[in-house]
Every structure is written in C-alpha cells, then in structure tokens.
Amino acid sequence: MPAHEFLHPDQFLYHSTDDNHAESIMQDKALRPSHSDVIAGASGIYFFGDKKDTGHWGESHVIVAKPNKVLKIHPNIDNYPKLARMRQQNQFANDWNEDGSSHNDIIATYRNLPDDLKFPLTQESADSARDVSEHLQKRGFHGHRDSLLSNSDIVIYNPEDLDVVRHLHTNQEKRPRAR
C-alpha cells in the first residue's frame, strides 16, 4: 500500500455545494473547511477528484479548485484500522447528545464495525475522540483520501493550499443559452 500520493497544481478538484455557499465561495474566492462534526468525522474541505462523482450529494453547484502547491495526500483512511477507529470514535463523539445518549444510526453503524474498529461506547470515549485530519496534518499531510462515497473523495485540510478556479452548475447543459 503506498505511503502517500501527491496532488499537483495542474490537477482539478471538484467541490459540490448549494446556491448560497457557491455564491459566497465565488465572491470571496475562498473555501471554508467543515469541522470534524460532519458525517465523515474528519475536518477539511471535501472534494471529488473526478467531476462525474459530483452529483452524489445532490447539490446543484460545483466549485472547481486547484492546489497552488504540491500537496501530500494520505491514502484512504479506511484501510488503516487506527485511523478508521479514530474517525468512528469522532463520529460517535459528535453524535453524543446532551442527555448522554447517542442517535440510533451511529449505534447501528457501530454494531456493524469489525471488532478491530470498535471502542467503548461511553462518554469518556466520546471525550477522548480526535480529529483524523488534525492528526494527519501534524504528520505533514495536506489531506487524505476518504472513500465515504467514491474512491475519488479527497479531504483537503487548509483552504490556503487551494485556488478557486471556477463555478459550474451541475445542470448546466439543461440551461438555455443566453442570446
């Protein structure tokens, strides 16, 4: 298994988003990272490396970005039990309710995990959760592969490592041309 890969400044990345976020991104020419409380359990900006995968989230806008330097990318974290467990623990921690309970979908997901990914379902376990992105960034990575939806999913940690190139509508071909 490769230790890492590199994204180069000539490679395009595709970020699906909604109307409001697309307008804000294009106005500021900047992307903002999600926190680790997103469903994938890792902070950063979620991209697809392949434009055809952008429709997975059902969003109508695609922001195209390129790295502005060479970025070191960690391979798919699901292939590393320690990192996969860290992410699962973080998802669980972010789903922990004020009353000390957790939502049923996270519990159901947990029950289906292989034994080597399981951790104690306790408040203490939730309190000790760590963000996979932060962990990898401290080790010199700029992002990681994350096969939540497809093998082309990439999480980039720092928006300053990217240049926003253009804005596309995913339903662009259905729009009438202006005369």
What are the pLDDT digits (tens) for 1-42? 467 899 999 999 998 888 888 888 988 888 988 876 566 667
Contact by Cβ (8 Å): 71, 79:
no
Fold of 1-172: Phosphoenolpyruvate Carboxykinase; domain 3 (3.90.228)
Sequence ranges of the domains in the chain: 1-172
Backbone angles phi, psi at 75, to 5 degrees: -65, 175
Give pLDDT tens digits for 78-130.
888 888 777 777 777 666 555 555 555 555 566 666 666 665 555 555 554 56
Give pLDDT tens digits for 46-64.
888 888 877 666 567 888 9
* Phi-psi group of 85: left, alpha or beta (phi > 0 → left; psi -120 to 50 → alpha; rest → beta): alpha
Contact by Cβ (8 Å): 76, 150:
no
**Per-residue pLDDT averaged across 129-151, rounded?**
81
**Per-residue pLDDT averaged across 147-154, rounded?**
70
pTM: 0.74
Contact by Cβ (8 Å): 64, 13:
yes
Beta-carbon contacts of 163 under 8 Å, excluding residues fewer than 6 positions away, are 29, 65, 66, 67, 68
